[in-house]
Each structure stands twice: as C-alpha cells, then as structure tokens.
Amino acid sequence: MPKLRHIQSNASLQLPPPNSQSCKASCPELQTLSTISPKSCTEEIFDNTPNLQKLGVRGNIVAELLESNEGICCLFNNIRKLEKLENLKLMDEAFNDEATTLQRPIIPQADRFPIRLRKLTLSKTSFDWKYICALGSLDELEVLKLEEFSAKGECWELNVNVVFKSLQFLRIGRTDLVYWSCEQSSFPALKRLHILHCENLNEVPLSFKDVKSLKIIELFYTNKRAATSARNIRDQKPKLDFVLSILPLHH
C-alpha cells in the first residue's frame, strides 16, 4: 500500500514487524497512524513511515515509563525520530488511581519529543504536575490537551523559568488539582483556556488578566471559587475582545 496516507482505528492496533511475512511493504506517504499500541512503536515500523504527521498511542504507557530509567524508554526513543510528526496523542488504558498515587511516572525531557511537535494530548498518564513544566521547552508546541488524570497532584506551580512560549490552546480535564500558580510570562501566546471537571481548583491564576493574547476562558463543572476568580480576570481585561463561559450557570 505505497500510497496509503491515513490509518485510523478505535482499537489499539498491534502492528506486525515490517519485515514479517504479513507486512513487507513500507508506507512512505503515511501521514496518520492512530491508534496503535506502545509495543508497535518500534524503530523498524517508524523507519517505514518516515512522513508521519499524526500519531496516536494507546496502551500501558505508564507501566513502560515506570520501568524505564528517568522516563527514557524505547517508546520515546523511537517516537522522537519522527522528524515530521506534529500531532501526538498518548493515552493510557490501564489507569489505576491507587497504584499511581504511590509511584508517578516521569515525563521525558523535551529532547525526547519530535522537534516539530505542535499538538500534544495526554490522557490518564498520571504525571506529577511538576513534570508537566518540562513541556514548556517544546518550542513549537501550540496545543496542549491534558485530558482526564493526565496529571495528578494538588499543586501546579510555574516559576519564571517555565515558559510555554508558543502555546495558544490549553485544556485541563478531570484532575485533583487544587492550587495553580503561574506568571504573566508563563503563557505569553495563549488564546484559549479550557478547564473541565476540575472540581477542587481554588482559583484560576489572576496573572492571566495580563496575558494580552488571551481571548477565551471556558469553565465547565469546576466550582464557585474557580468561577469567581475567572470573573475577576474578566473584569480586569478589555471586554470587547474577551469571552468568559461558565457552566453550569449557578457557579
């Protein structure tokens, strides 16, 4: 299938080795491969799909990271070689809340990710919030979706040295986050902020009032404290080019 460009599946596909009897041909024009198992993220398979732009991986990702040395495992060693990859989704399907409370996986440093990565989605990966800060070193990252329990812990603190310089869209899904602090300089290009099902969050950082690029904040099932802080941000920003959406309305 030398002209195949997109493979999409609801299941996590286990791909045969490219040199096996069942799969001998390469796919030089393949742009989308989603979703596949972590075991399918081999050097041999990626060598045969050099033009991948979108990759989805679903499986026991946390276990692989916990077994690796400081987050360095074959999964990321191979993914980072995809020089044209722009969109990466990592979804753990063996999520165990009690187990990850005792031991958290370490997110790899920025040099373990593809250099052209623009969109990153994490789901149920249970990273400590302090490791999420490492993603600020991804210079081209424009969209970061932290879906349910992609990060765990009560505190996410971004100091002046953590800057997501190209990030335009940030979504934080279901999490146990309580305290979130950041600087005005932490998200200098952010346009949209979505916060969903963060029921313990005390407040949206007031520093967002000074992020001139920020046009939209959406809160969905957070709590009244977070909603009040978002309204304070709205009241201190120019009203003509800023939209605040809070659901349910009684928050």
- Of the CA atoms within 13 Å of residue 152, those in its CB half-sphere come to 19
Looking at the structure, do residues 6 and 64 belong to the same domain, yes or no?
yes
The answer to whether residue 134 is domain-embedded is no
Note whether 115 and 140 are within 8 A (CB): yes
How deeply is 186 buried, as exposed, middle or buried, from its count of CB atoms within 10 A (0-12, 13-18, 19+)? buried
Give the span between the Cα atoms of 187 and 225, in whole angstroms: 22
Cα→Cα distances 118→86, 87, 114, 164, 223, Å: 5, 6, 9, 12, 31
The answer to whether residue 115 is domain-embedded is yes
What pTM did the predictor assign? 0.92
pLDDT digits (tens, 9 = 90+) for 64-122: 777 765 545 678 888 998 999 999 999 998 656 554 555 778 888 888 899 999 999 99
Give the span between the Cα atoms of 86 and 141, in whole angstroms: 9
pLDDT digits (tens, 9 = 90+) for 124-172: 999 999 989 999 999 999 999 999 999 999 999 999 999 999 999 999 9
The answer to whether residue 138 is domain-embedded is no
Give the span between the Cα atoms of 47 and 250, in whole angstroms: 53
Number of domains the chain is built from: 2
Q: Cite the DSSP H helix spans in the chain.
A: 43-47, 61-67, 74-79, 97-102, 129-132, 224-235
Looking at the structure, do residues 113 and 197 belong to the same domain, yes or no?
no
Q: Which residues contact 115 (CB under 8 A, 6 or more apart)?
A: 80, 83, 140
Domain boundary among 102, 121, 140: 121
Cα→Cα distances 124→59, 141, 149, 226, 248, Å: 10, 20, 5, 23, 25
Mean pLDDT confidence for 210-234: 96
Give me the count of residues in the chain. Answer: 251
Looking at the structure, do residues 109 and 29 belong to the same domain, yes or no?
yes
The answer to whether residue 60 is domain-embedded is yes
The answer to whether residue 148 is domain-embedded is no
Looking at the structure, do residues 115 and 69 belong to the same domain, yes or no?
yes
Beta bridge partners of 128: 152
The answer to whether residue 97 is domain-embedded is yes
Q: Which domain holds residue 112?
A: 1-121
